[in-house]
A and B are shown apart, each in its own frame.
Chain A
């Protein structure tokens, strides 16, 4: 299954390698001036946090169900220890603790993550240890292989990998997903993990899209995680500039029309032909087979480079990242925004090299004319000034009322209910607008709103497959080592991390995750986990079966479930020595455990 996911990845950008064909590459401007974190923004956060604190029950008065509810949404699964902690210090203090994740010692987590080294590697090292097959093929050719062979000889490449001690790039996902799961299960910075998951999904990129394999880890590390309690605009700009996004939504191919045209008419004529027609054209003129091959390679590469607008990023920027589909823009705005982002590209390593891919603004490829975005003129400019157009548009979008509405709704759906209370959405919307998009303030508002603590909404969300797996591992005292079967399970349930192909990411609503097939997969996962049948995951045999249900669902009302499970064990004639694991399996597979 895992292999299938990877194999299905589009082979779009082999072109990334050996591209040194662009005539000129502008250099990226320094980061200075982009990050607008200042004392002011910080003060707003503090003010919002303090102002809102009155609605939260004070320490010592927190009721168990409310605390359980908070943990079920603000962590990857309620554990007995966490519940005790919240009841001890109160909801408000717990939120403050979690909103300052630096306060938690990270050493133990660092030791755990060491088992998933690729997740923390820089691009250089990733290319070295997980080289693209094209690089290995070139090496094979140099070593005297068949010079004419165009396709990849998988076997020869695999042998070479063994000789060099390197691995296929698909293997990077194993470490990325493994590290994510470690954090979800064991990190004390639970709220940061939950919000990182949410915002990555919001600004989704897909591991399987060619060059993104070497970029996704860095993307989460640099463009998402540092901003989850920061300013939305900073995250928006960081994603817009990150090569993972520029590649995923094709903006690296978005250039001003005709900006690549050369003066050579014959060249242009040849370039415009379809490959097969070009081949016949050249053959008729007596060009040698070897030369034709060379010309074809150059021309196809030329053709893969851009000569026009590509709307993909602009569209998703408006529809998904900021305004929302009903946010009041139209197709003309999409085209105009695409023109604004012409020239936002990536550095491409020279032929045969595999250096890191970086953001690069290429002013030669930018459309310097004026644009009309959402009814306002964006003054076009050339030179490095052209990049400012994009930053200005991002700044406008980042604090637009439609963006506030869109993000407020999305947060409320993800963390509160599939049909969230309108009052909550309005509350989050105004916090976002008043603080200029401060995500710490917004997160605090979300988890402390009286709407959030409406008992009618307790247990109202269906866990997604990843939430189910993480929470099951959390309550079963599992020791999780690198485990391929675990990822195969996640893939089959439809939520393998970093593997959501569409820019929407994975869905947030229960209807998308509940159907007969997926219910069986949930139940089957629970059985396999409890029985210790998932390789790489060790689950201790519960020594006291009578406490298992309460441990799986701390703080919940299990007065119906616990005896029901006990009855089942008796009726099925389960031998008493299997009571512990059997109870665990039934509890983890129970309807109560599928919700949060």
Chain B
């Protein structure tokens, strides 16, 4: 119920504030208000998660050229060890690992200390099913398919004082999913109590605690599992067209707003719809006010002309417009290279080219703002150490993640390397895992998004069944 509650609060709040003579631009100011996720700095922090769907071959993304087994196992698809001046070989990172040559745009970031890599990292669950493994990573509950909501949804809920921090006991833990049986009317009444109580703060320009409806956004038509759940998050396929009738008909917008909001008998699919509607109309209003499309990429910055490139460009626009984005999500697919993946060049290299150029463009575009922005890459599992008969690799286990941004403890490949000898491999065939992906997620949540201020039971709600322990963090962040 928490998501619905917060939405109603926002709208109820708007009405209450207007009644009190507060300026109508309160939503925009809500967006710019300091975030509870800002930690002690008070500055809003943002994390952009990039999901490489299809299981990227991490051993060819960040190549363990110092491990001779790598070359034995991959006779036709290995990337050769670095050699000065040879651009078709791995790019040396630390004398043992090398970056795939098609990721060269990222090498400078690594050199500047703005990119760290966690290798031999992933999910402890043995599944080699894309769909299960993606779900497990996005719910952060490996092995538990009953989890309905994404971990980022729970993180946003846990850090929203209106969703969880109030003392009326209005909703269960955000993970409960089932709600508490409270009707919309109850929630609305409850919410307007809050609105009245908070109005002086908000109207007085004291920052208040109003949060942006765009705290959690996915730049895609489909909402990724990681952001799905009771807390309202927004999927935006295209910023320019985000509105009723493309934003050209206000009376229609109002009409639909009312048709959806007056549904007073939420049942089955209907509550999914009313939640989605409230999220939409608040987000439309905020985007109108902050006008992210007026922010063009910095001179000389060129995003790839692909879905991924467009997603990153629009995330950058939202950040520059101060629209209140705290968690953003972008997908990049095409990693399931069972056949003919190639080595230094070829199919997989082409995917790396898009990835590398896109991430570099994003970092260059945001410039100094990267101090407060972190980019984290992930993929559901790695691929077999040994190449298959088709010049490709099959579904494997351990993989690697990249962390980019001013807060990254850059210039290092982190995590313990388990080795590639047969007896060192997971089930005798795949890279073993020495870092649980949840330890990386938890480090990001605690160190960057300020979740360290949460109480233990709230951390437990974000990572159910997983005891977060900073002693296990690999130190991907400064």
**Do B268 and A572 touch across chains, with their CB atoms under 8 A apart?**
no
Whether B131 lies near A502 (C-beta < 8 A) is yes
| A253 touches which of B130, B307, B333, B390 (Cβ 8 Å) | B390
B-binding segment of A190-198, A437-445, A587-595? A587-595
Shortest C-beta distance, A556 to chain B (Å), equals 13
**Would A516 and B276 count as touching, CB distance under 8 A?**
yes
Q: Is B343's CB under 8 angstroms from A274's CB?
A: yes
Bound complex: CA A13 to CA B345 (Å): 17
A289 at the interface (CB under 8 A from B): no
Contact at B276–A514, with CB atoms within 8 Å?
yes
Chain B residues with CB under 8 A of A590? 259
Known contacts A277-B80, A520-B242, A462 near B283 by CB under 8 Å: no
Instruction: Kindly report which residue of chain B lies nearest to residue A275, judged by CB atoms.
Output: B343
Q: Give the tally of cross-chain contacts (CB within 8 A).
A: 206
Contacts of B279 in A (CB 8 A): 515-516
Please give, as numbers and ranges, the residues of chain A lying within 8 Å of B345 by CB-CB distance.
276
Segment touching B, from A20-28, A86-94, A151-159, A311-319: A311-319
B277 x A595 contact (CB < 8 A):
no
Verify if B334 is at the interface (C-beta below 8 Å from A).
Answer: yes
What chain A residues lie within 8 Å of B129 (beta carbons)? 315, 319, 325
Q: Is the CB of B76 within 8 A of A273?
A: yes
Query: Shortest distance in angstroms between A234's beta carbon and chain B's nearest beta carbon?
Result: 26
Report chain B residues within 8 Å CB of A308.
Answer: 388-390
In the assembled complex, B23 has its CB within 8 A of some CB on chain A: no
Once the chains are docked, how many angstroms separate the CA of A511 from the CA of B3? Answer: 14
Q: Which of A306, A319, A524, A595 contacts B273 (CB 8 A)?
A: A595
CB neighbours (8 Å) of A275 from chain B are 343
Complex-state Cα separation, A276 to B132, whole angstroms: 37
**A572–B427 alpha-carbon span in the complex (Å):** 67
CB atoms of A460 and B268 under 8 A apart: yes
Inter-chain CA distance A109–B76, complex, in Å, is 52
Q: Are A524 and B245 in contact (CB under 8 A)?
A: yes
A589 to B253, CA, bound (A): 11
Determine how close the nearest CB of chain B comes to the CB of A134; give it in whole angstroms. Answer: 15
Q: Which residue of B lies closest to A560 (CB)?
A: B262
Closest to B384 in A: A311
Q: Which residues of B contact A303 (CB under 8 A)?
A: 76, 340, 391
Binds A, one of B115-123, B156-164, B203-211, B231-239: B231-239
B77 contacts chain A at the CB level, 8 A cutoff: yes
Across the two chains, which residue of chain A brings its CB closest to B129? A319
| B85: min CB distance to chain A, Å | 15
Most buried by A among B263, B270, B272: B272
Q: Chain A interface: which of B33-41, B220-228, B367-375, B437-445?
A: B220-228
Partner of B334, one of A8, A510, A517: A8
With A461-B268, A502-B130, A516-B234 known as contacts, the answer to whether A591 contacts B390 (CB < 8 A) is no
Q: With A273-B76, A276-B345, A591-B259 known to touch, is A306 a contact of B390 (CB < 8 Å)?
A: yes
Give the CA-CA distance A468 to B140 in the complex, in Å. Answer: 33
A10 to B334, CA, bound (A): 7
Contact with A along B274-316 (1 / 0, CB 8 A): 1111011001100000000000000000000001000000000
Query: Within the complex, which residue of A253, A418, A461, A515 is in contact with B223, where a contact is CB–CB below 8 Å?
Result: A515
CB within 8 Å for A457 and B244 given contacts A492-B237, A518-B235, A519-B277? no
- Could you say which of A315, A461, A518, A527 contacts B245, with CB atoms under 8 Å apart? A527
Is A568 an interface residue when CB atoms closer than 8 A count as contact? yes
Q: Which residue of A lies closest to B244 (CB)?
A: A523
Counting contact residues on chain A (CB < 8 A from B), the size range is 35 or more
Query: In this assembly, does B326 line the interface, its C-beta being within 8 Å of a C-beta of chain A?
Result: no
Interface assignment of B190: CB less than 8 Å from any CB of chain A: no
- Whether A545 is near chain B, meaning CB under 8 Å from some CB there, is no
Q: Which of A568, A585, A595 lies in contact with B269, CB distance below 8 A?
A: A595
Chain A residues whose CB sits within 8 angstroms of the CB of B221 once the complex forms = 492-494, 517-518, 521
A325 to B144, CA, bound (A): 12
Residues on A with C-beta less than 8 A from B333 are: 8, 501
Contact assessment for B269 and A331 in the assembled complex, using a CB-CB cutoff below 8 Å:
no
Q: Which residues of chain B come closer than 8 Å to A306, judged between CB atoms?
A: 389-390
Given contacts A4-B307, A512-B222, contact A594 B76 (CB under 8 A): no
Chain A residues, Cβ within 8 Å of B256 = 523, 586, 589
- Tell yes or no: A548 within 8 A of B by CB: no
Question: Which residue in chain A gives the minimum CB-CB distance to B245?
Answer: A527
Residues of B within 8 A of A417 (CB): 268
Within 8 Å CB of B259, what residues of A? 561, 564-565, 568, 586, 589-591
Q: What is the minimal beta-carbon distance from B71 to any residue of chain A, in angstroms?
A: 10
Residues of A with C-beta under 8 A to B471: none
Quick check: B268 and A457 within 8 Å, CB to CB? yes
Residues of B within 8 A of A519 (CB): 260, 273, 276-277, 280
Report if A431 contacts B (CB, 8 A).
no
Residues of B within 8 A of A594 (CB): 269, 273
What's the nearest-Cβ distance from chain A to residue B148, in Å? 7
Bound-state CA distance A190–B334 (Å) is: 36
Q: A303-B340, A515-B234 are in contact. List 4 more A-B contacts (CB 8 A).
A: A331-B427, A519-B280, A527-B252, A568-B251
Q: Which 5 A-B pairs have the closest CB atoms?
A: A308-B389, A460-B268, A517-B235, A572-B251, A307-B389
30 sampled A-B residue pairs with Cβ under 8 A: A12-B340, A250-B390, A273-B75, A274-B80, A276-B343, A306-B389, A310-B389, A331-B126, A418-B269, A459-B268, A461-B269, A462-B273, A504-B131, A510-B272, A512-B222, A514-B276, A515-B223, A515-B276, A517-B220, A517-B221, A519-B280, A520-B280, A524-B246, A527-B245, A527-B249, A564-B259, A568-B254, A568-B255, A591-B273, A595-B269
Residues on B facing A (Cβ under 8 Å): 75-78, 80, 88, 126-132, 145, 148, 220-223, 228, 232-237, 242-246, 249, 251-252, 254-256, 258-260, 262-263, 267-270, 272-277, 279-280, 283-284, 307, 333-334, 338-340, 343-345, 347, 388-391, 394-395, 427
